[in-house]
Structure 1
Amino acid sequence: MKVTVGPAQYVRNAGLLSNAGLYINKFGKRAVLIGGNISREIVEGPLRKSLSEQGISLKQSLWYGGESSETNIDRLVEQLSSENFDVLIAVGGGKVMDTVKAVAYQLDKPLVAMPTIAATCAVATPIAILYSDEGEFLEISRKSKAPELVLVDSHIILNAPFRYLIAGIGDTLAKWFETKCSIKKAVPTAINQTAIAIAGQLYHTLLQIGQEAVTSNQTKTLTKELEDLIDAVILVSGSVSGYGGDDCRTAAAHAIYSGLTIFPDIHQTYHGEIVAFGILAQLCMEGVGEEEVKTLISYYQEVGLPFTLKQMGISSLTDDQWKELGEITVTIEDMANMPFEVTPEMVITSVRRADEIGNEMFVVSN
């Protein structure tokens, strides 16, 4: 048995960026930074200073390419293959992390992850989600590694656009709804039952502190609720995947997310926002009562998650587009974790029904 629960070390503090070099020092004296353009603009100056104080040189600062795609991964691997350095530092969001985890795997280098948003658990998992250069989901890659170290500066997360945190709530909610569904196909073990227990606690935590944490982010006030939510989204959520593995990682909610990425109109909607809608569709697919779906939508309304296709940029779909959505979604690896066979027609029906219930709730609230 081989289990990678998550990163070897996780540190989260306000103002941590100014001391980052103290933690990175143990990996060597030559570093390469890879990240998004905005993230590098925020982080690079203070990080370079902190590294320099520890005698560490930042040899290169590279843009990751805009998508977690094989094209960008291969380009970075080729670019760095002849570079003499000791450690990779990734700064940014989930697609940056997935890209650099794959690069670190191929180059066999230590990886330090510094997320600048709390939108996914990408830094705490050993897998990488790959997309086409245009942003369409392709596959879950195991040619990836979990970071040796994750450094989270609460002030950076606090000052990020609050919509990212809302998306993080959506992605983290899925841990409970997907794991309690996919575990039905697995033989119970001490490890996967631990994953379920963590997912259940995560769900209760989100219900308790979600609204307060979002308000903290909106008002730029660092509170215990916000820091708890940061830890829940970035670290604890990833541990569910770590303990659960293929027994209870993802299911229909993420498959529906991946299927919806075939429509360019949705590409301005964040991963966790689409996953949140996917949860509603999964519940419809499972045949749960309408009131249960509405109760969850009420929570979405509190924290600001979308619950209709229109809210995610999809005003209407043609019959051919509905058919394409159903046919592609059932081919996604995540869908195989459902405890029953899912057909394209089931996908179409559940997405339509979730959207109908969501629109009813939207009308009532307005």
Structure 2
Amino acid sequence: MKIVFGHGKYIRGEGLIGQIGDYVAPFGKKVCLFGGKTSLSIVSAPITKDLSQHGLEMLPPIWYGGECSKRNIYNLKNQVEEFQPDVLLVAGGGKALDTVKALGYLLDLPVITIPTIASTCAAGTCISILYDDKGEFLEISRKSKNPDLILVDTQIILEAPVRYLISGIGDTLAKWFESKASNQKAVPNAFNCGAVELARFVYELLLKEGKRAAESIHKGVVSKELEDIIDAIIAVSGNISNYGGDDCRTAGAHAVYSGLTIFPEAHEVYHGEIVAFGILTQLAMEGRPDEEILDVIAYYKQVNLPCTLGDMGIDSSRISEEQWQTLGSVTVGIEDMANMPFEVTPQMVIDGIRRADQLGHTAL
């Protein structure tokens, strides 16, 4: 039996938040809205107003808790169970979206995701990334609701800091490098091979239009390039994960991301920014030539993605040998690393990070 997940309807347009009742009403009369603090400060008033005009009942907007952790997921469950909602809405970035997708799984309720930044594909995937309450990675959870509807208000994405879009580019670049690596261990079929080819297309699109999309945000203009990159990050990238499944989901780049969360400094760096450095490390672990890695770094410099540990606030000169060993051990223990087509040792991780960092400094 072959089971393939795909997200529900994807709708992108300017001003969607002010018309949200048209899209929510078919799901039921009782609504809960969750999100990050910043996102709720932007969208809760227009959402509440429009839902009220459609005669829908809702609790006051609820902050998701700050981390996609089991504690926060169950805290939200306790807050809304008595209300017996018909549908869950969540606005924000990846951790908020993942938290409420996990809540939707627990409560067996439809989930509508409203990404307010284009920084990950979390709005369109059927997994949640779990952390502890301090922000250190724990696991990839399949106990997560597949979104029934994705609403992307382009105006809100446009008004968000450009750094979020750049982070989304970093996270989405990884689809190509990771899917072609992890798929080497799989039996080829229409879905996983199709996912890899789609990842290749998205990679080429990012190289072609990523810089101009970022410039569009600086100019405050919704351009074709910006729309393309938003769709690629949120929807197309999500479908690469959904279609490829475990055959070509995440690999070395995301494992390095998770490993680097042992450093408190990394908690101030966005997910896709760290993943971008993880791509360089994965290429180093694969034994790719310097020229290939430097080509990727050259693109990073165009769009302002990190290419050294220092770019992420991590001072390599102050990392003790014990910390290096911990970093290597933690990283190889991450589920993503098992998707690499060869066995990765802690020393390979350490050497890969050091080589990536050195090449980043060479390019600078």
TM range (shorter): over 0.9
Instruction: After TM superposition, give the deviation of residue 48 of structure 1 in Å.
Output: 1.1
Mapped to 2, the partners of 1:328 and 1:268 lie a distance apart of: 20
Contact 1:119 1:165 in 2 (8 A): yes
* SS of residue paired to 1:81: helix
Mapped to 2, the partners of 1:2 and 1:31 lie a distance apart of: 34
Matching residue of 1:187: 187
Matching residue of 1:324: 326
Mapped to 2, the partners of 1:117 and 1:298 lie a distance apart of: 25
Contact 1:4 1:126 in 2 (8 A): no
Instruction: After TM superposition, give the deviation of residue 59 of structure 1 in Å.
Output: 2.1
Contact 2:88 2:112 in 1 (8 A): yes
Deviation by residue 1:123-166 (Cα, 9 ceiling, x = unmatched) = 11100000011110000001111110000000000000110000
Matching residue of 1:213: 213
User: Is 1:342 matched up with 2:344?
Assistant: yes
Mapped to 2, the partners of 1:137 and 1:244 lie a distance apart of: 23
Q: Structure 2 vs 1, CA of residues 89 and 4 (structure 1 numbering), >3 Å: closer, same or farther?
A: farther
Matching residue of 1:95: 95
Mapped to 2, the partners of 1:130 and 1:123 lie a distance apart of: 15
CA RMSD between the two structures: 0.9
TM-score by length of 1: 0.98
Segments of structure 1 that go 5 or more residues without pairing to the other structure are none
Matching residue of 1:298: 298
* SS of residue paired to 2:61: strand
Contact 2:120 2:172 in 1 (8 A): yes
Contact 1:185 1:339 in 2 (8 A): yes
Mapped to 2, the partners of 1:319 and 1:292 lie a distance apart of: 29
Contact 2:94 2:123 in 1 (8 A): yes
User: Is 1:171 matched up with 2:167?
Assistant: no
Number of residues paired by the alignment? Answer: 362
Following TM superposition, where does structure 1 have runs of at least 4 consecutive aligned residues deviating by more than 3 angstroms?
A: 1-5
**More moved, 54-63 vs 284-293:** 54-63
Contact 2:110 2:148 in 1 (8 A): yes
Mapped to 1, the partners of 2:330 and 2:142 lie a distance apart of: 21
Deviation by residue 1:191-248 (Cα, 9 ceiling, x = unmatched) = 1111011101000100110000011112211111001100000000010100100000
* SS of residue paired to 2:250: coil
Matching residue of 1:18: 18
Q: What letter matches 2:358 in structure 1?
A: E
Taking only the aligned residue pairs, the percentage that are identical comes to 57
Matching residue of 2:108: 108
Contact 1:5 1:241 in 2 (8 A): no
* SS of residue paired to 2:328: helix
